[in-house]
Structures are given as structure tokens and as C-alpha cells.
Amino acid sequence: MKPKTLRTLPDLRREMAAWRDKGLRYAVVPTMGAIHEGHMQLVREGLRRADRVITTIFVNPKQFAAHEDLDKYPRDEPGDLLKLGKAGSNAVYLPRPDDIYPPGFSTSVSLTGPARAGLEDRFRPHFFTGVATIVAKLLVQTGADLAMFGEKDYQQLRVVTRMARDLDLPTEVIGIPTVREDDGLAMSSRNVYLSFAERRRATAIFQNLNLAAEAIRNGRVPSQAAAQAARRLRDQGFKIDYVTARNAETLARPSIPGERLRLLAAAWNGKTRLIDNIAV
Ligand code: AMP
């Protein structure tokens, strides 16, 4: 069914109040649009856990640096609405810029801890303040019971979870496993930037993370396994930002034997920066 479109903050508030009045529990799925199967899975998982799902689409300028791809970020509103309807999203919030950043906007939410783990933050220093600020606003604006996030952006998931806890937001943050293409490539709105040859090569990130995870499970020192994965990817033509094993919760470097680990990678495939991660 076609989802109801809510294009202003007052529209959103009215619809959320109506859901609340009916005693419905609802989940929010924050996105930047260019909807793919990964986003659709978040919607479906939201519907499994709540009575209604509201998806938000807002390409957030505050999480792009000046040299990044804000202007060419893929946008396709009719296609997005069709896919979100297919996945079962009951409503879609497409706010105007002023609904998010009214004139004079002066507040931001910034974190230490997982946001300063030396991963994405090292290469995109503005990123998590932009993310935490918009997500805090979307959770407050929607008043959702649940918020669905993908493990695909693992550091983001840890940051948002920490932020909601630290600010006593009543929304429960839920992480959903990464949805992948048949060859293992993590689905991403940015995959459309890949040339044919780059697309074929892209699966190597997931493959090498898996090899490293297996090596760690077989007793290899995590930093060595990660370094080997980075070397292999470099040999295949990737430019590596990081390949590293971290504590799965705090994202700190491993220090305790037997702690739960996550392997995370960011690498340039031609002009496109891809990120991925897996559990060890
Ligand atoms: P984005 O529109 O890229 O900002 O992503 C919106 C949400 O979808 C975030 O919570 C992402 O982690 C999630 N997401 C993106 N790609 C995937 C994927 N392949 N599998 C699961 N979740 C995803």
C-alpha cells in the first residue's frame, strides 16, 4: 500500500499523536532515501516488533563535509515511496530543511566514546555530530517506541545507542543485520557509483573480513589478522582507510581475552568509499 506522506513537522506530529491515541506502538526507520533492500528490511523488522512504522527521508547536510557527495547523493522520491510501501511502511516523513534546522539553529549533540574510536571519525570528523544531532531530533520529533538501525553502519549504531541512553530518550534502538547482495557485498545507496569492474571487485571486502574473522577464531592475534586482510585488499587495488578488530560494544581496541569482537573496514574502491563489518 502507498504510505502516507508527511511533509512538515506539524503533519508528522498530528499523525504520530493519532497513532498514540489509538494505543499503537510504532518504530521509526531513519534514512537518507535511495531506498534499497537493506532499508526495506529495517521496515519489515520494525513491523515485526511494533504496530506501525514511520520511515524518514532526509539527506542531512550536517553529516557531509564540503568535499563529500551531498550534491550527487542519489535521490528518487517516487521510487523510494514505492519500495517503502512494498515493505509495509505506514508513513514516510519527508521534512523540509526548516523542519529540521529552523533559522537560528544552534544546538548539536556530540559524543566521545564510540564516536571517537578512530574509525569513521578519523576520516569524517564532522560525521557523528551530524548523525547524533539529526537522530536525536528525529527520535524526539516522532516520539517512536523503537528506532531501527542497520549494522551495516556499525559505528553509527553504537553511537546512536549510546546517545539515546545518555540522553534518556525513551526510544529503544534496535540493530538489524546487514543485508547483502548475492556475492556478499553489503547493500548501500553508494554502490550505484561503482563501475562494472569496481562492482566485481567490491565483494573482496566482505571475503577478506570473513577470512580474518576465521583466523581470529582459530587463535590468530586480532591486529595481525586485520593487518593481513588490509594487505590482501591493498594487493587487489583498494586504498585502505582502516581494517581493524574492535570491542563489539565500545569499539575500543581489544584488551581482554575472550571479549566480543567486531571487524570493521573502510576502503576506497576507485572513487567510492565502501564500509563493511562483521562479527568475529
Ligand atoms: P542511509 O540511508 O544509508 O543513511 O541508511 C539508513 C539506515 O539503513 C541506517 O540505519 C543504515 O545502517 C541502514 N542500512 C543501510 N544499508 C544497509 C544494509 N545493507 N543492511 C542493513 N541496513 C542497512
Q: Which of 65-69, 83-87, 154-158, 214-218 has the lowest mean pLDDT?
A: 65-69
Q: What pLDDT is recorded for position 231?
A: 98
The pick from 31, 64, 151, 161 for probing ligand 1's pocket by mutation, whose C-beta has the most ligand atoms within 8 angstroms, reads: 31
Q: Are 258 and 216 in contact (CB under 8 A)?
A: no
74 CB less than 6 Å from ligand 1? Answer: no
Q: Measured from the CB, is residue 191 less than 6 Å from ligand 1?
A: no
- Asked if residues 241 and 123 have their Cβ atoms less than 8 Å apart, the reply is yes
Residue 149 CA to ligand 1 centre (angstroms): 7
In angstroms, rounded to a whole number, what is the distance separating the alpha carbons of residues 16 and 137?
A: 15
Report strand pairing: 172-176 vs 146-150. Answer: parallel
Q: What spacing in Å lies between the alpha carbon of 220 and ligand 1's midpoint?
A: 31
The pLDDT-based confidence of 248 (bands split at 50, 70, 90) is very high
The one catalytic residue in 36, 39, 67, 126 is: 39
The cell for 168 is 534518556
Mutate which of 56, 120, 148, 152 to test ligand 1's pocket (most atoms within 8 Å of Cβ)? 152
Is 39 among the residues known to form the active site?
A: yes
Give the SS3 label for residue 182. coil
Task: List pLDDT tens digits, range 49-93.
Answer: 999 999 999 998 888 888 888 888 888 999 999 999 999 999 999
pTM for the model stands at: 0.96
Between the CA of 188 and the centroid of ligand 1 the distance, in Å, is 7
Q: Can you give the pLDDT at residue 62?
A: 86
Helices (H), the chain: 9-21, 37-49, 77-87, 97-100, 120-123, 127-142, 154-166, 196-202, 204-217, 222-235
What is residue 177's predicted lDDT score, i.e. its pLDDT? Answer: 98
Task: Count CA within 13 A, CB hemisphere, residue 280.
Answer: 27
Ligand 1 lined by 153 (C-beta under 6 Å): yes
Instruction: Give the CA count within 13 Å in the CB-facing half-sphere of 73.
Output: 20
Residue-level pLDDT at 245: 98
Cell of 7: 511533509
Atom of ligand 1 nearest to the CA of 35: 2
Check if 174 has its Cβ closer than 6 Å to any atom of ligand 1: no
State the Cα–Cα distance between residues 161 and 175, nearest whole angstrom.
Answer: 9
